[in-house]
A and B are shown apart, each in its own frame.
Chain A
């Protein structure tokens, strides 16, 4: 197990390096917009553009620029560790901004995950245990709806209903927990619910399928033959095996959400990482975009590893080598 984790950690470093290289090439070598010209104003002279290019370090050869970027990322820069540089747009350190925004994205993702796990697992299990009943069909219908409905549509519809029409919840925006726990919760309900509806639908289908397979296993029949009650059969034996794939799924989904809540955060005006990448892309703020890409890739690589390890611990049939 130890060797496996070390090997996977090396793999994480390689993946992150590869992603940074790819992102660097996309954003700095093949940019749609020359940052120096973009920041030179409306009526720049050639000297001014050159001066800005020098200020931003864009006058150095590309391999040197990339090398410096990786070096600062690993060893830190004048704003601390990791060295994510400063924003072209706000002239402020990116690290501080990313930290604040990562916390908001995590609040959305974790809250949403709790909700979708509760919904998805319970719907999926009940559906599996009550196969071919009206409940099963209704649950799978819900799952189909959840999977099919785009997040932006769900977001706009929920805003229309709960904010505009019924005035049950506040509209958009983020209120920090320290400012007002009640307002924090109220502002989080809709983003959590929208994410939960989307993912719960997927999880319900996965759980249903796994549970149906597990419930037909020999050891379940043996458990029943031993005289265990159905509740014990399900909770003690079936759930452990039936739900273990959910761990892997959850790890990957949470990791992906770190950089992929763009739509949710945009619709609900949540200043998280997804929102940041959108604003930064629009502003041509390449270091900020690159920083989010690095954070997101790191999250995917690490959470995937965590998910694999937890999966192995839960399921003795899996051995990590």
Chain B
């Protein structure tokens, strides 16, 4: 889902540079080094600097007006900007912060500032479910209208139409249409057995009722996603093909695409793409004259600038040069190594660098059906032996992410002082790893080093570019200390995706894999461990947790002699049905069970999201939902712009 990829340039030196930078401006470096032990202490210092750069910030007094300018190396598109199927975090931020309102939404801030909590947006309030958690009834606020040229009040039927579009429009295929499948009738629509979803009732223009097939505690989150924003049928019916509506999006939020008012909707034939959006060159947004701020809340959208320009610039370095010079305000891209280093080192500009939780986990999976990883003791020993501090350094230090101790990102399930395998500084506990390995059937002489032939030439996939390629040597070295000799194959991103996504290829392990959340409920991560979700192609449950004999036959995998891999399908179902704290507790328990008992991964990096701000930015916020800068809360001082 994310558009954030690390810069292609090597980041290897960054951690050291950051450490030096902090050492240069800190006061008690010698003491901390003495008491905490070298690199770990230094990393702690950098981590403190990184922590200080999180959250919202003001640089002067934010005021209305001006143009907020962003450039990215491309306009990240999954479905040509059609909200029904678009699946990039940056696009979600643009939609939700600026263009499209949904029944419920977020306040577009960090998790610590409540950015993961739902708030009513189009709806008057977030209802408690009835009927044992299977019915949600929402009432719509008055005064919310579509932007030009539609200019009419939104109705509950526009929301029903938008959600039904996910079931019939090919735009939604493979996107996140699965989040609406709990609604009665949606699956029938997907199968072509029904033309409408009987589980979405619109008794009047201001009321919409969702009836679910079973309780789904995360269902309200699905109603905060852009696909559920009202869509005017009179425009969208003209664009049934995948992605087509992306050039004709009619807004409900504070901004509209420039030229929307010129769109002729008198007939389908008369509609020509809105001039302010070209997927190859960018998007220009101006204020929506039909937006009534009294129907919104400034905690959700402050909408300071009069205009947003989101352009494309293929020269990544040039984007950040422009930001530094004040010719741009920001970018969704990650700054290059040299720029990051300079900002971290220079206290006078450091606060223009903002670092927040990226809600993305990079991990090394271990295929539970292939020796030696069919033995949980080997998997645990790998977790114990891995030099995670070295991996963090290879990535660029704490600025790029924290060392995780469990499978879910810390911003989703917070587990403080939870160290199931290693203690800080996470540089590998070889002694404990050997003790664990002694219990494995692959350590025949029980000396703590795997001596079985299954531990030799273990195929390890990885991406062939930094920062992933930087970690290969660290991983190989760590594994070799307990006798697991990795045969590393570094491949392109797509090749790795294919190799790890097809179980029949029997890739034993890969460290070039990651996952980001769709919304702040752990269920969006649990698809990675759901045995029913294992697919022959594009499979994301690479460890094959919960693989059954029947499924193994379907996807071309083998069931090892030791038996079928452990399953957490029942745990997932149990947690899915719960609400509130019970639900959180359930996911927490499952997170720990996966981490300690199933052990499908070695979690490598709990990645950050990094923003660099231009000198004209007077207010900054971070949108935890899209994990991008919160455009709804950004402000700019035009007098400081170039």
Does A20 make an interface contact (CB < 8 A)?
no
Bound together, the chains give a CA A275 to CA B73 distance in angstroms of 11
Which 5 interchain pairs have the tightest Cβ spacing?
A41-B174, A91-B243, A33-B494, A40-B174, A91-B80
B87 close to A (CB within 8 Å) = yes
Which residue of the partner chain B has the closest CB to A265?
A: B314
Considering only residues 276-295 of chain A, those with a C-beta below 8 Å from chain B are: 276, 278-279, 282-284
Measured in the bound complex, the distance between the Cα atoms of B286 and A108 in whole Å is: 32
Instruction: Provide the bound-state CA to CA distance between A89 and B175, in Å.
Output: 15
Interface hits, A16-54 → B, CB 8 Å: 32-34, 37-46, 48-49, 51-52
- Would you call B174 and A39 a contact (CB within 8 A)? yes
CA A56 to CA B616, docked complex, whole Å = 45
5 A-B pairs besides A37-B501, A49-B174, A91-B80 with CB distance below 8 A are A39-B174, A92-B279, A97-B280, A159-B318, A278-B314
Those of B462-496 within 8 Å (CB) of chain A: 492, 494-495
Q: Which of A69-77, A136-144, A177-185, A266-274 contacts B (4 or more CB under 8 A)?
A: A266-274
Structural contact, B244 and A91, CB atoms closer than 8 A: yes
Q: Would A91 and B314 be within 8 Å (CB), given that A33-B497, A41-B87 are in contact? A: no
Q: Jot down 28 A-B pairs with beta carbons below 8 A, ordered by A.
A: A32-B492, A33-B497, A37-B497, A40-B174, A41-B87, A41-B176, A43-B538, A49-B174, A52-B174, A89-B77, A89-B80, A89-B279, A90-B80, A90-B279, A91-B79, A91-B241, A91-B242, A91-B243, A91-B246, A92-B247, A171-B318, A172-B315, A266-B314, A266-B315, A269-B315, A269-B318, A275-B314, A282-B74
User: Which B residues are within 8 Å of any A CB, using their own CB?
Assistant: 1, 74, 77-80, 82, 87, 170, 173-176, 178, 241-244, 246-247, 279-281, 311-315, 317-318, 321-322, 325, 327, 492, 494-495, 497-498, 501, 527, 533, 535-538, 540
Task: Report if A218 contacts B (CB, 8 A).
Answer: no
Asked if residues B494 and A43 are in contact (CB atoms below 8 Å), the reply is: no
B75 nearest CB neighbor, chain A only: A90
A34 and chain B: residue at smallest CB distance: B498
Instruction: Please measure, in the bound complex, the distance between the C-alpha atom of A269 and the C-alpha atom of B537, giving whole angstroms.
Output: 36
User: CB-CB < 8 A to A51: which residues of B?
Assistant: 170, 173
For A32, give its contact among B321, B327, B494 (CB under 8 Å): B494
Beyond A89-B77, A283-B74, is A43–B315 a contact (Cβ under 8 Å)? Answer: no
Contact B315 A44 (CB under 8 A): no
A164 interface residue per 8 A CB criterion: yes
User: Is residue A67 within 8 Å, beta carbon to beta carbon, of the partner chain?
Assistant: no
Contacts of B537 in A (CB 8 A): 34, 37, 44, 46, 49
Chain B at the A interface: SS class: loop
How close is A98's CB to chain B, nearest CB, in angstroms? 11
Whole-angstrom distance between the alpha carbons of A47 and B445 in the complex?
Answer: 48
Inter-chain contacts of B535 with A (CB < 8 A): 44-46
Given known A55-B242, A171-B327, A271-B280, contact A284–B494 (CB-CB < 8 A): yes
Number of A-B contacts (CB under 8 A): 117
Question: Which residues of the other chain, B, contact A173 by a CB distance below 8 angstroms?
Answer: 311, 313
Whether the Cβ atoms of B74 and A43 lie closer than 8 Å is no
- Contacts A49-B174, A89-B279 given: A267-B78 contact, CB under 8 Å? no
Residues on the A chain within 8 Å of B325, using CB: 164
Check B1 against A42 for contact (C-beta < 8 Å).
yes
Q: Which residue of B lies closest to A274 (CB)?
A: B314
Report the nearest A residue to B273, measured CB to CB: A92
Contact assessment for B77 and A44 in the assembled complex, using a CB-CB cutoff below 8 Å: no
What is the CA–CA distance of A32 and B322 in the complex, to the nearest angstrom? 34
A33 to B502, CA, bound (A): 13
Q: How far is the CA of A291 from the CA of B576 in the complex (A)?
A: 47
With a CB–CB cut-off of 8 A, which chain B residues contact A282? 74
Given A51-B170, A91-B80, A91-B243, are A279 and B280 also a contact pair (CB < 8 Å)? yes
B538 A49 Cβ-Cβ under 8 A? yes
CA distance A81 to B78 in the complex (A): 27
Closest Cβ–Cβ distance, residue B386 to chain A (whole Å): 26
Would you give the shortest CB distance from B130 to chain A, in whole angstroms?
Answer: 30
Q: Is there contact, CB below 8 Å, between A52 and B173?
A: yes
Q: Which of A131-173 contact B (CB under 8 A)?
A: 156, 159, 164, 171-173
Determine which of A37, A42, A49, A156 lies in contact with B87 in the assembled complex, contact meaning CB atoms within 8 Å. Answer: A42
Q: In the assembled complex, how far is the CB of residue B173 from the closest CB belonging to chain A, in whole angstroms?
A: 5
A contact residues around B173 at 8 Å (CB) = 40-41, 44, 48, 51-52
Q: Which of chain B's residues have a CB closer than 8 A to the CB of A159?
A: 318, 321
Tell me the bound Cα distance from A40 to B536 in angstroms.
13
Chain B residues contacting A164 (CB-CB under 8 Å) are: 321, 325
Q: Are A48 and B174 in contact (CB under 8 A)?
A: yes
Q: Which residue of A lies closest to B528 (CB)?
A: A43
Q: Is the CB of A43 within 8 A of B527?
A: yes
B322 pairs with A171, CB closer than 8 A: yes
Task: Collect the chain A residues with CB atoms within 8 Å of residue B312's CB.
Answer: 269, 271
Instruction: Enumerate chain B residues within 8 angstroms of A279, measured Cβ to Cβ.
Output: 74, 280, 314
User: A71 → chain B, closest Cβ, in Å?
Assistant: 21
Q: CA A289 – CA B495 in complex, angstroms? A: 19
- Chain B residues near A271: list those with CB within 8 A: 280-281, 312
Contact pick for A46, options B78, B311, B536, CB 8 Å = B536
Q: Does B498 contact A37, Cβ atoms closer than 8 Å?
A: yes
- Identify the interface centre among B78, B173, B533: most chain A CB within 10 Å of its CB: B173
For A31, the closest partner residue in chain B by CB is: B494
From the candidates A48, A55, A97, A268, name the one contacting B315 in the complex (CB within 8 A). A268
Q: Which residues of A contact B497 (CB under 8 A)?
A: 33, 37-38
Residues in A with CB closer than 8 Å to B77 are 89-90, 283
Q: Closest B residue to A155 by CB, please name it.
A: B315
CA distance A247 to B222 in the complex (A): 63
Report the minimal beta-carbon distance from A224 to chain B, rounded to whole angstroms: 53
In the docked arrangement, what's the CA distance between A52 and B280, Å? 23
Q: How far is the CA of A237 from the CA of B492 in the complex (A)?
A: 57
How far is A37 from B495 in the complex, measured between Cα atoms in Å?
A: 12
Q: How far is the CA of A309 from the CA of B241 in the complex (A)?
A: 47
Least CB distance, B31 to chain A, in whole angstroms: 41
Q: Using Cβ atoms and an 8 Å threshold, which residues of chain B touch A97?
A: 280
**Nearest neighbor of A283 in chain B, beta-carbon distance:** B74
A89 cross-chain contacts in B, Cβ below 8 A: 77, 80, 279
Beyond A44-B535, A55-B170, A278-B314, whether A90 also contacts B540 by CB under 8 A is no
Complex alpha-carbon distance, A269 and B535, angstroms: 40
- Name the contact of B498 in the complex, choosing from A33, A48, A90 (C-beta under 8 A): A33
Q: What's the nearest-Cβ distance from chain A to residue B378, in Å?
A: 28
A89-B279, A91-B241 known; A41+B498 contact, CB < 8 A:
no
CB neighbours of B527 from chain A (8 A): 43
**Chain A residues near B495 (CB, 8 Å)?**
32-33
Looking across the interface, which residue of chain A has its beta carbon closest to that of B173?
A48
Contact flag A42-B314 (CB < 8 Å), given A48-B174, A89-B80, A92-B279: no
With A and B bound together, what is the CA distance between A32 and B538 in angstroms? 14
A186 CA / B270 CA spacing, docked (Å): 38
- Chain A residues lying within 8 Å of B540, measured Cβ to Cβ, are 42-43
Closest to A170 in B: B327
A166 to B380, alpha carbons, bound, how many Å?
A: 59
Write out the residue numbers on chain A whose beta carbons fall within 8 Å of the beta carbon of B498: 33-34, 37
Contact A43 B178 (CB under 8 A): yes
Q: Do the beta carbons of A90 and B174 come within 8 Å of each other?
A: no
Chain B residues with Cβ below 8 Å from A55 are 170, 242
Q: Which residues of A89-106 are within 8 A (CB) of B? A: 89-92, 97
Chain B residue nearest in CB terms to A90: B279
Bound-state CA distance A296–B497 (Å) is: 31
